[in-house]
């Protein structure tokens, strides 16, 4: 979604603003703009379309300023037009604002300001922020006070970065329910809504606490709450390398990230389990559970969105089988509106970005209802991580492609580890536990084997890229993986697909199957292979072509009923999702490639969805 950058320091702000915005392109946007302070005025350059348009306008001009702000907009209120692009400027022309989030009461504020003869230039909710500050500034020349007064009337979510013509050395930034980071360096300071914009410049960051305002100058920054009380600053060191957010020779981030999965899974499990020794205990960071808590634990509720929700769907099978504790799984956007029962429940929120608005709102609801919340998060210090009672970080590194791959895989193994820890504490370790533990240790090497085999999936995709109708079918854990395979295909190749429980097709949906349909069938659950074969015979009889993804130990007999079979290494049935998802990621990638789609930035989608 929208991206923010800001700079104040001894150098020219423009190169950072443009490069920083380019680094945030992956979040999804449809217009871009920058504002810099020159000696005479605030100069705004903003345009619908890509950042390149801004670069073209600047061209060979020597636009030079020690302070500036920039923005990539993902349209919500008003079309993607030049006028609706950020930065927005107050009527007096002395204040420029970029905004991420949504101002929920913007209509009311706009009406009030319009009655006061203030003219608006856009349809956005964001412009009211610039105009409101500008209105107050007419009578109070203390810009900081005007901003504080403004944030008190705003409802909704907002990360703001503001410059004022009369304050040549100050950026003012505000955070409420939308992430914002200050990057600290010698003689210059940066602002960004996401770490990748800063990686080439500094690894020292301060993530703005919820409901805070900062005054940032070249040499320092001061942090306040909305009542102007000073807040203690907390600096973190980001350990992501500059290269981790580069394509490193790959054509797309998505392929790079698929190929990083063996390493990412190893990085996530290795600090928590001993990979070499015959030691089967899980060290779960500093997460502890009292005996009393465990005695009363009756249910686990998993809450997430999109692919992270699909991780929860797999985890439900895993947890219930191993722990014999019921698991409820909710889409975060539904959870808070159904009056959930969380008494004696552990709530697990899963999120790569840690900023997904729906997941954050669900987390807050769960806490309000008295539940303990553990989150599984990739981005250090993100809002979901900060607000949870405990965090289990995934060590996937930055994920740039909109379609998640390595985050999914690392979330999945984190859910396994959390389950095994509870298993150990609840004294439910059985023979199965040891086998699973050993197999988890083998996951990186088995994932690597599948990655090495990517060309065969490329060849298979070549046969099927023209199909417009695809069904993913499976049973049990395979069904949960089908949901992820189907989402991957839809989001990047725009091919309509559905994930169906294989046994459910005949209850209606089979009417859609014809000789224009491709069916991708998963068979990794040994006890269910014969049932899958029967379901595949049903779709074959109606003309569909069938591609099987099956475990080594399940593949026998499948060649007779399918055009193609992709074989994945043998692993405990309960862990098969960690392997079977990878051919589906490759498949979606190659289909999208053959169809000429924009793989890393699929249309209409944003990487981190910070609006509800
Ligand atoms: C799909 C995808 C999305 C995210 C979802 C949640 O490839 O990436 O479905 O999984 O938007 O995002 P996070 O995990 O950041 O909360």
pLDDT given at position 363: 98
Residue 569 has pLDDT above 70, yes or no: yes
Looking at the structure, do residues 377 and 487 belong to the same domain, yes or no? no
Looking at the structure, do residues 134 and 216 belong to the same domain, yes or no? yes
Query: Does 492 contact ligand 1 (Cβ within 6 A)?
Result: no
**pLDDT per residue as tens digits for the range 425-468:** 999 887 688 899 999 999 999 999 999 999 999 999 999 999 99
How large is the average pLDDT for residues 523-551?
Answer: 96
Percent of all residues in the chain with a pLDDT value above 70, rounded to a whole number: 99
Looking at the structure, do residues 139 and 272 belong to the same domain, yes or no? no
Contacting residues for 359 by C-beta, under 8 A, at least 6 apart: 303, 304, 305, 308, 332, 349, 350, 351, 384
Query: Does 353 contact ligand 1 (Cβ within 6 A)?
Result: yes
Shortest CA distance to 473 belongs to which of 489, 456, 497? 497
How large is the average pLDDT for residues 406-420?
Answer: 98
Query: Does 307 contact ligand 1 (Cβ within 6 A)?
Result: yes
First-to-last C-alpha distance (Å) of the chain: 12
pLDDT given at position 39: 85
**pLDDT per residue as tens digits for the range 193-237:** 999 999 999 999 999 999 999 999 999 999 999 999 999 999 999
Residue 276 has pLDDT above 90, yes or no: no
161 is catalytic: no
The residue from 210, 245, 280 where one domain ends is: 245
In terms of pTM, does the model score above 0.85?
yes
In a domain, 604, yes or no: no
How large is the average pLDDT for residues 382-410?
Answer: 96
Residue 277 has pLDDT above 70, yes or no: no
In a domain, 610, yes or no: no
Domain CATH for 19: 3.60.20.10
Residue 309: HSE in the Cβ half-sphere, 13 Å Cα cutoff? 17
How large is the average pLDDT for residues 110-129?
Answer: 96
Instruction: Ligand 1, residue 403: give the atom nearest the CA.
Output: 7
Shortest CA distance to 578 belongs to which of 442, 417, 409? 409
Query: Does 351 contact ligand 1 (Cβ within 6 A)?
Result: yes
Query: Does 410 contact ligand 1 (Cβ within 6 A)?
Result: no
- Peptide bond connecting 480 to the previous residue in cis, omega within 30 degrees of 0: no
pLDDT given at position 281: 85
Task: Report which DSSP code applies to 530.
Answer: H
pLDDT given at position 431: 66
Range of the domain at 304: 253-451
Q: How far is CA 314 from CA 239, 311, 510, 575, in A?
A: 30, 5, 24, 9
In a domain, 605, yes or no: no
- Return the H-helix or E-strand segment holding 185: strand 181-185
Query: Does 358 contact ligand 1 (Cβ within 6 A)?
Result: no
Looking at the structure, do residues 408 and 499 belong to the same domain, yes or no? no
Looking at the structure, do residues 468 and 407 belong to the same domain, yes or no? no
Burial class (CB in 10 A: 0-12, 13-18, 19+), 80: middle
CA of residue 355 to ligand 1 center, whole Å? 10
> Are the C-beta atoms of 82 and 73 separated by less than 8 Å?
no
- Return the H-helix or E-strand segment holding 410: helix 406-425
Q: What angle do CA 265, 270, 274 make, to 5 degrees?
A: 140
pLDDT given at position 60: 77
Looking at the structure, do residues 319 and 200 belong to the same domain, yes or no? no
In a domain, 51, yes or no: yes
Provide the phi-psi class of 36: left if phi over 0, else alpha when psi is between -120 and 50, else beta: beta
Looking at the structure, do residues 103 and 172 belong to the same domain, yes or no? yes
The residue from 451, 477, 493 where one domain ends is: 451
Nearest CA to ligand 1 atom 7: 403
Question: How many Cβ atoms sit within 10 Å of the Cβ of residue 376?
Answer: 33
In a domain, 603, yes or no: no
CA 294, CA 298: separation in Å to the nearest integer?
A: 9
Query: Does 376 contact ligand 1 (Cβ within 6 A)?
Result: no
CA 573, CA 532: separation in Å to the nearest integer?
A: 15
pLDDT given at position 496: 96
Question: How many Cβ atoms sit within 10 Å of the Cβ of residue 536?
Answer: 22
Residue 279 has pLDDT above 80, yes or no: no
Residue 476 has pLDDT above 80, yes or no: yes
Looking at the structure, do residues 442 and 473 belong to the same domain, yes or no? no
CA of residue 160 to ligand 1 center, whole Å? 24
Given 46, 47, 170, 607, the catalytic residue: 607
In a domain, 539, yes or no: yes
How large is the average pLDDT for residues 75-80?
Answer: 86
Looking at the structure, do residues 74 and 14 belong to the same domain, yes or no? yes
Contacting residues for 245 by C-beta, under 8 A, at least 6 apart: 23, 196, 199, 398, 400
CA 470, CA 544: separation in Å to the nearest integer?
A: 9
How large is the average pLDDT for residues 53-61?
Answer: 89
Looking at the structure, do residues 61 and 205 belong to the same domain, yes or no? yes
Looking at the structure, do residues 197 and 331 belong to the same domain, yes or no? no
From 257, 356, 398, 599, mutation site for ligand 1 pocket: most ligand atoms within 8 A of C-beta: 356
CA of residue 45 to ligand 1 center, whole Å? 32
In a domain, 530, yes or no: yes
Mean pLDDT over the full length of the chain: 95
pLDDT given at position 289: 95
Query: Does 411 contact ligand 1 (Cβ within 6 A)?
Result: no
SS3 123: coil
Given 2, 305, 313, 482, the catalytic residue: 2
From 252, 307, 481, mutation site for ligand 1 pocket: most ligand atoms within 8 A of C-beta: 307
In a domain, 590, yes or no: yes
Task: Give strand pairing partners of 237.
Answer: 204
Residue 29 has pLDDT above 90, yes or no: no
From 27, 252, 305, mutation site for ligand 1 pocket: most ligand atoms within 8 A of C-beta: 305
pLDDT given at position 27: 79
2 is catalytic: yes
HEC string of 347-397? EEEEECCCCCHHHHHHHHHHHHCCCEEEEEECCCCCHHHHHCCEEEECCCC
pLDDT given at position 429: 84
In total, how many domains does the chain have?
Answer: 3
pLDDT given at position 317: 98
Query: Does 1 contact ligand 1 (Cβ within 6 A)?
Result: no
The residue from 209, 226, 245 where one domain ends is: 245
Query: Does 394 contact ligand 1 (Cβ within 6 A)?
Result: no
CA of residue 59 to ligand 1 center, whole Å? 36
Domain CATH for 425: 3.40.50.10490
Residue 607 has pLDDT above 80, yes or no: no
Looking at the structure, do residues 470 and 589 belong to the same domain, yes or no? yes
SS3 202: coil
């Amino acid at each position: 979604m929208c991206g923010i950058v800001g700079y104040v320091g001894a150098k020219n702000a423009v190169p950072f603003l443009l490069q920083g915005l380019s680094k945030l392109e992956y979040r999804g946007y449809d217009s871009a703009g920058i504002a810099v302070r020159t000696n005479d005025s605030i100069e705004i350059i903003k345009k619908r379309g890509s950042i390149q348009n801004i670069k073209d306008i600047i061209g060979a001009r020597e636009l030079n300023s020690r302070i500036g702000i920039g923005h990539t907009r993902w349209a919500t209120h008003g079309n993607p037009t030049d006028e609706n692009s950020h930065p927005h400027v107050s009527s007096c022309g002395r204040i420029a604002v970029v905004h991420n989030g949504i101002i929920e009461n913007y209509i009311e504020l706009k009406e009030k300001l319009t009655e006061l003869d203030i003219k608006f230039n856009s349809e956005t909710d964001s412009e009211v922020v610039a105009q409101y500050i500008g209105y107050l500034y007419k009578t109070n020349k203390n810009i900081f006070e005007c901003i504080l007064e403004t944030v008190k009337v705003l409802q909704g979510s907002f990360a703001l970065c503001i410059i004022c013509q009369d304050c040549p050395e100050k950026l003012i930034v505000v955070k409420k329910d939308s992430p914002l980071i200050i990057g600290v360096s010698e003689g210059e300071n940066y602002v960004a809504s996401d770490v990748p914009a800063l990686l080439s410049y500094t690894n020292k960051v301060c993530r703005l606490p919820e409901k805070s305002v900062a005054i940032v100058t070249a040499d320092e920054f001061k942090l306040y709450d909305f009542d102007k009380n000073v807040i203690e600053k907390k600096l973190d060191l980001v350990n992501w390398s500059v290269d981790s957010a580069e394509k490193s020779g790959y054509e797309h981030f998505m392929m790079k990230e698929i190929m990083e999965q063996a390493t990412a899974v190893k990085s996530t499990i290795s600090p928590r389990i001993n990979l070499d020794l015959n030691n089967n205990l899980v060290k779960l960071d500093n997460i502890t559970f009292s005996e009393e808590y465990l005695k009363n634990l009756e249910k686990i509720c998993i809450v997430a969105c999109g692919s992270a929700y699909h991780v929860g769907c797999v985890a439900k099978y895993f947890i219930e089988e191993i722990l014999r504790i019921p698991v409820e799984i909710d889409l975060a956007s539904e959870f808070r509106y159904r009056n959930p029962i969380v008494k004696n429940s552990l709530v697990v929120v899963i999120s790569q970005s840690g900023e997904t608005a729906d997941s954050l709102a669900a987390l807050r609801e769960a806490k309000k209802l008295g539940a303990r919340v553990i989150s599984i998060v990739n981005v250090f210090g993100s809002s979901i991580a900060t607000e949870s009672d405990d965090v289990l970080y995934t060590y996937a590194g930055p994920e740039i492609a909109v379609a998640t791959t390595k985050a999914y895989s690392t979330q999945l193994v984190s859910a396994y580890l959390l389950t095994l820890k509870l298993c150990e504490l609840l004294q439910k370790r059985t023979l199965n536990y040891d086998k699973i533990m050993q197999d988890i240790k083998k996951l990186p090497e088995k994932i690597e084997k599948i990655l090495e085999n990517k060309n065969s999936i490329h060849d298979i995709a070549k046969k099927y890229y023209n199909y417009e109708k695809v069904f993913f079918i499976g049973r049990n854990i395979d069904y949960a993986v089908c949901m992820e395979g189907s989402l991957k295909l839809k989001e990047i190749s725009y091919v309509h697909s559905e994930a169906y429980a294989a046994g459910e097709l005949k209850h209606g949906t089979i009417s859609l199957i014809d000789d224009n349909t491709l069916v991708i069938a998963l068979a990794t659950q040994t006890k269910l292979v014969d049932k899958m074969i029967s379901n595949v015979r049903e779709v074959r009889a109606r003309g569909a072509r069938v591609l099987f993804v099956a475990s080594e130990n399940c593949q026998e007999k499948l060649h007779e009923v399918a055009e193609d079979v992709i074989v994945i290494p043998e692993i405990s049935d309960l862990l098969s999702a960690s392997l079977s998802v990878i051919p589906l990621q490759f498949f979606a990638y190659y289909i999208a490639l053959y169809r000429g789609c924009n793989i890393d930035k699929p249309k209409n989608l944003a990487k981190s969805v910070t609006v509800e």
